[in-house]
Structure 1
């Protein structure tokens, strides 16, 4: 089974026959012990340190359909090496573009993304409300805001409602989480530990969604909720809205409340906070475990992983764009 590899240390990635070799390089320029990765086992790489590669390696990765995602010091996603889009189809490109260009069809899809995201956020809050957290005010506010989604006629108006829902949702983090306070969402850079975790997790979720889109006929640059822009795969932002409460927020709550992540795993500086390598490794482990966790799918009647749920979401959206079946966003049913 193919898996993701996370490279936290600076180093050099090279090809050795049909094996990938990662050689860590210290700050003094000294090389560490190489690690060998069978190419058959690699799905993609997530790089959090500087990485030296050459064109020969990139050509090899491209032929193997292995993508590489890059993040900067503050855990912001900076870009990806994406191999040639091997599944793109002309009809899908045309239909996806036509849905974007039609205001009514675009807003209907965008509403579904916000609807799914709001529902899954509410599920998280109700889960902790049942565990003696006083969240009735936040739950009622999000439920009321959610009723306004279907009446929107413009994407900016919808984005405003989505922003208000998230503002209320993030306010609840200070009630759910022990020992740490969010004190409002801050991104560039994150102001405290909770903000650093959210930013780090959201970027991982975005990259995973991008990787799943790549294995379908969808074009990742044509989106419906977020405005398509230069140099970004905005459809992955759309899909990530639905899955962030499940793949990112739940692990954050668990890791902090069980004290698996502590203050020593963060690097606090003036007006900014980032995860140390120890913190990144702890969160990535929990994130990967969440992705590989399986549930019994009600329609397929078989167990599927959370990661595969993202692929299934892409297939559902594809059917909608091809006018085969109306798209319904993924909502937690347990």
Structure 2
């Protein structure tokens, strides 16, 4: 079974036959660590957090084996991806996807479904904690009212307004849900406290797995429906991430904070900005990967699927709707 690998240490990566060879940089005064070898047929994606040297031969090798690479900067912000040539892209799908984007009726249906799924999953999280003696009833009522507008708005801008207001209401409940850290509002450029740092980092990770899932479908990642397509970004991954951020990112943050798996020492403050320290990043990524590998019983398929595969199934579902195999697109909604 393939798995994602996360590289935190600086070093050099190269090809050796059909394996990836990673040579970590030795710390001053210490012997050089032993190289690590990764069989290429066991790698689904690479996440680069440290300073890693590589050459074009390696990226050609990764491209031929359909392995994407996601890069994060010194402050752990997502900066971009190496995406292999789209081996699954089909001309018919691209034409239909662009057609769905240019048709306001079709685009609004898909965009409304995405916001419906995202806000439903937010509401499910709030109700979970309301049932556990957290006072988030006001946010639940506000979110329920906002959700009523999803089917009545007639433009993407209005729909984005509903989504933005819904998320603002949802985030305002974090102070009640999370112990140990204060929320103090959403601040992302740069994040100014621990929770904002966690949300920014978690959202970047969610964006990257959605991009991986899109890459393994016939969808084009640059043609989106809720977010406006733009230059230098895969906006469809932003669309897909909206549905899964409450499920994957937020629930993980709640757990890590409330169980004190993340503490003050796991964060760094630099020039009025807060970022996950190396130790905190490793805690988050370990828990993130464990979450993606967990399985749940899928109601419609009547079998166990991992959370990572769940994201891919969502892309397949959207693709079927776009080419007319499914009349409506129904977003994934939490049932537990």
TM-score normalised by length of structure 2: 0.97
Distance 1:75 1:227 in 2: 25
Conserved? CA contact 1:61–1:83, under 8 Å: yes
2:292 is the counterpart of 1:300: no
Question: How far is the alpha carbon of 1:26 from its aligned partner?
Answer: 5.1
Instruction: Identify unmatched segments of 5+ residues in structure 1.
Output: none
Question: How far is the alpha carbon of 1:241 from its aligned partner?
Answer: 0.2
Question: How far is the alpha carbon of 1:270 from its aligned partner?
Answer: 3.0
Task: Name 1:187's counterpart in structure 2.
Answer: 188
Deviates more, 1:71-80 or 1:157-166: 71-80
1:15-47 deviations in Å (ceiling 9; x for gaps): 111111111225769854311111111110001
Task: Name 1:327's counterpart in structure 2.
Answer: 329
2:65 is the counterpart of 1:64: yes
1:302-327 deviations in Å (ceiling 9; x for gaps): 00111111111111101110111111
Task: Name 1:8's counterpart in structure 2.
Answer: 8
Distance 1:115 1:270 in 2: 38
Matched ranges for 1:1-334 at <5 A: 1-25=1-25, 32-325=33-326, 326-334=328-336
Distance 2:225 2:250 in 1: 24
Deviates more, 1:185-194 or 1:74-83: 74-83
Deviates more, 1:85-94 or 1:262-271: 262-271
Aligned pair in 2 of structure 1 residues 231, 26: CA closer, same or farther (>3 Å)?
A: farther
Distance 1:155 1:225 in 2: 7
Question: How far is the alpha carbon of 1:75 from its aligned partner?
Answer: 2.2
Tell me, what secondary structure is at the counterpart of 2:312? helix
**Number of positions where the alignment pairs a residue of Structure 1 with one of Structure 2:** 334
Distance 2:317 2:206 in 1: 19
Deviates more, 1:139-148 or 1:71-80: 71-80
Distance 2:114 2:76 in 1: 25
Question: How far is the alpha carbon of 1:108 from its aligned partner?
Answer: 1.2
Tell me, what secondary structure is at the counterpart of 1:186? coil
Instruction: Identify unmatched segments of 5+ residues in structure 2.
Output: none
What's the C-alpha RMSD, in Å, of the aligned pairs? 1.3
